[in-house]
Structure 1
Amino acid sequence: MTAMRTTAARPRGVLTRLLELFLLPVLLIALWWAGSASSGNYYMPTPDVIAEKFREVWISERFFVDVLPSVGLLLSGFALAAVVGVALGVALGLSPRARAVGEPVLEFFRAVPPPVLVPLLMLLVGVNTPMKLAVIVSGCVWPILLNTIEGVRAVDPVLADTCRCYGIRGRRWLTTLVLRSASPQIMAGLRQGLSIAIILMVISEMFASSSGLGFSIVQFQRSFAIPEMWSGIVLLGLIGFLLSVLFGVAERYVLGWYRGVRAASRGE
């Protein structure tokens, strides 16, 4: 009897989860369809028109010419920001003196909006891929850096003393204690940095590029190809959603030990 209840509850749980995932998107698409169809506004095409232009524009060679290079630029900038942010964050988190000296400079540069740097970087670096990488790194490095600093500073002193007693030092101490203890906050900073990287990738291509996803969307807008413009916006949303899902998978893998510790502390 218990087995029959478990078997019956499992499909119901799957259906509930699918309903939770797709109910809101379907509802929003239906509302958009109803509103755009009744308004007759050229700048608000119906979802079927956008879907048709999506198939024509992006499921073609443009995917390899514009979309893949943009995604590669995004991932490269994010990876570079992650390396710089984690490395510098660990160094500053472990050294109170270095943190006190560098904090005013870091706060100044953190307050500068990255899009403002685009004209300056165009003059200094040129209109090329390194410039776009610099724009992405200049914006998404800060949440990674600051979260890493706070994570390193919050390392349990008892665990640090235990490692010292057992002679755990150097690289092993850094990877076993410091990075592992700070990993929850580092992953939080990486998630924030990824969302910022997507925004800055589009901005860098809108202002200083002759190809790419951001450039294509602006060109569609300037030529009044509104359905094509909306299809590019939808593609950007899908890319962001896919990257978020992949990051969630990686986060569950990296922080599997942390979730286990929390579950054990709650007695689950």
Structure 2
Amino acid sequence: MTTAPLAPGRRGLRLQLRFPRRLALGATTLAVLLALWELVGVRQLVPFVVPFTDALSGAWSLVTSERLKTDVLPSAGRALAGFLLGGSVGYVIGTLLGVLPTLERWTRPALEFARATPVPILIPVLFAAFGASSTTRIGLIALAAAWPVLLNATDGARAVDVRLLDAARVAGYGPVMRLRRVTVPAALPQVFAGLRIALGLSLVMMVVSEMVSADSGLGQFVLQSQRSFALLDMYSGVLVLATLGGLFTAAFNLVERRALRWYHGQKGMAHD
């Protein structure tokens, strides 16, 4: 027995109701995890774990003190700058490699060698060469963020349906117009998947780079708190970092939903 497809209006309503439901489930899971953290801290079930409410109070003190300007905002700015720079470079290079197979064959050995080199191992090298400046840290973050975007953009551009390109060619589209109207939109879902990975790597590299030869930043704050056994400060810094990551992810999700509205709509209709 077959069922009639949902009308477009009902499809839209169903998609709108699906998001709040997922949000409620995620919020419930987060609340349970935070409650477990509070229980472990209050009962001292694990040594050196402070209760969540204490860490939350410390995090509030951290972001309302002078450290907001000296540590929190500079760290957020470096992570965001490195993510945008690395994502842009990876997107451009990856798209070019995807549409120019000859260029990809010439550069593949060098790219594979560079990709296999762990970015954290370059911290002492680049710090020795260029100094432990904020610019060098942003460069390290960008280097880590570029790879997932580059690889996904290459695969996305290479996997464009040949029939779409042939149809565009028959319609009189030149190479640049085919790139803009066919290749870029078709590869965009994979590009955003790479950007999502790059966002997490940017935050990780921000913390790691600030733990080496830094006099400010959240990574340095957490490390110094651990070394001085200031456990409350350490957990407060970790909580601020987690919140910062959550805010970045929420903003990214908003941009992704707007940029890929057509793609998610097609997925929703396919599921229906």
TM-score, normalization: structure 2? 0.88
Query: What one-letter code is carried by the residue in structure 2 that aligns with 1:182?
Result: A
| Structure 1 residues 146 and 220, CA gap change in structure 2 (3 angstroms) | same
Secondary structure of 1:207's aligned partner:
coil
The residue number in structure 2 matching 1:214 is 219
Q: Percent identity?
A: 35
Alpha-carbon contact 2:41-2:51 (below 8 Å) kept: yes
Aligned length: 256
Alpha-carbon contact 2:56-2:239 (below 8 Å) kept: no
Find out whether 1:122 has 2:135 as its counterpart.
Answer: no
**In 2: Cα distance, 1:238 partner to 1:55 partner:** 11
Shift of 1:220: 1.1
| Structure 1 residues 235 and 129, CA gap change in structure 2 (3 angstroms) | same
CA shift digits 1:64-87 (9 cap, x unpaired): 221111111111101111111011
The residue number in structure 1 matching 2:244 is 239
The residue number in structure 2 matching 1:36 is 41
| Structure 1 residues 67 and 169, CA gap change in structure 2 (3 angstroms) | same
Match of 2:106 among 91, 101, 116: 101
**In 2: Cα distance, 1:146 partner to 1:214 partner:** 28
**In 2: Cα distance, 1:249 partner to 1:18 partner:** 14
Please, which runs of 5 or more residues in structure 2 have no aligned partner?
Answer: 1-16
| Structure 1 residues 41 and 187, CA gap change in structure 2 (3 angstroms) | closer
> Which stretch shifts more, 43-52 or 89-98?
43-52
Find out whether 1:92 has 2:97 as its counterpart.
Answer: yes
Match of 1:135 among 128, 135, 140: 140
| Structure 1 residues 18 and 144, CA gap change in structure 2 (3 angstroms) | closer
**In 1: Cα distance, 2:167 partner to 2:18 partner:** 45
**In 1: Cα distance, 2:263 partner to 2:47 partner:** 51
Q: What do you get for the CA RMSD once the two structures are aligned?
A: 2.1
CA shift digits 1:125-176 (9 cap, x unpaired): 1110121012112211110000000000011111111111111124332221
Query: 1:1-268 maps to which residues of 2 (within 5 A)?
Result: 19-39=24-44, 43-264=48-269, 266=270, 268=272
**In 2: Cα distance, 1:13 partner to 1:132 partner:** 40
The residue number in structure 2 matching 1:3 is none
TM-score, normalization: structure 1? 0.89
| Structure 1 residues 23 and 125, CA gap change in structure 2 (3 angstroms) | same
Shift of 1:41: 6.3
Secondary structure of 2:267's aligned partner:
helix
> Which stretch shifts more, 76-85 or 20-29?
20-29
Please, which runs of 5 or more residues in structure 1 have no aligned partner?
Answer: 1-11
CA shift digits 1:73-110 (9 cap, x unpaired): 11110111111101111111111111111111111111
